[in-house]
Structure 1
Amino acid sequence: MTRRPFTRHLVALLGATALATALPLTTQAHGPTRQKVTETVTIDAPAATVWARIRDFGALKDWHPAVADSPASQGNTVGSVRLVQLKGGGALTETLEGHDEAQRKYNYRLKDGSPLPVTNYTSTIRVTDSGGKAQVEWRGAFYRGYPNNDPPPDQNDEAAVKAVTGVYQSGLANLKRLVEGK
Structure 2
Amino acid sequence: MKRRLLLIAGAALLVPGMALAHGPTRQKTTLTTEVAAEPAAVWEVIGNFQDMSWHPAVAATEGEGGNEIDATRVLRLGAADGPTISEVLYKYDAAKMTYSYRITDVAVEVLPVTNYSAHLTVKPREGGGSVVEWRGAFYRGYPNNDPPPELNDEAAIAAVDAVYQAGLDALVTRFGAP
After TM superposition, the score normalised by the length of structure 1 is: 0.85
1:150 aligns with 2:146: yes
Equivalence for 1:44: 36
Counterpart CA distance in 1 for 2:104 and 2:49 is 15
Equivalence for 1:136: 132
| Consecutive unaligned residues in structure 2, runs of 5 or more | 1-7
* Cα pair distance change 1:103/1:20, threshold 3 Å: same
Counterpart CA distance in 2 for 1:78 and 1:173 is 28
Counterpart CA distance in 1 for 2:163 and 2:64 is 23
After TM superposition, the score normalised by the length of structure 2 is: 0.87
Equivalence for 1:22: 15
The structural deviation recorded for 1:73 is 0.5
Counterpart CA distance in 1 for 2:9 and 2:169 is 57
| Structure 1 vs Structure 2 CA RMSD | 2.0
Determine helix, strand or coil for the equivalent of 2:15: helix
Higher normalized helix content (fraction of residues): 1
Q: 1:112 aligns with which of 90, 105, 109?
A: 105
Counterpart CA distance in 2 for 1:148 and 1:40 is 31
Native 8 Å contact 2:12 2:18 kept in 1: no
Equivalence for 2:74: 83
The structural deviation recorded for 1:26 is 2.7
Q: 2:91 aligns with which of 82, 92, 98?
A: 98
The structure having more radius of gyration, on CA atoms, is 1
Determine helix, strand or coil for the equivalent of 2:50: helix
Counterpart CA distance in 1 for 2:96 and 2:157 is 27
Identity in percent: 45
Aligned length: 166
1:68 aligns with 2:63: no
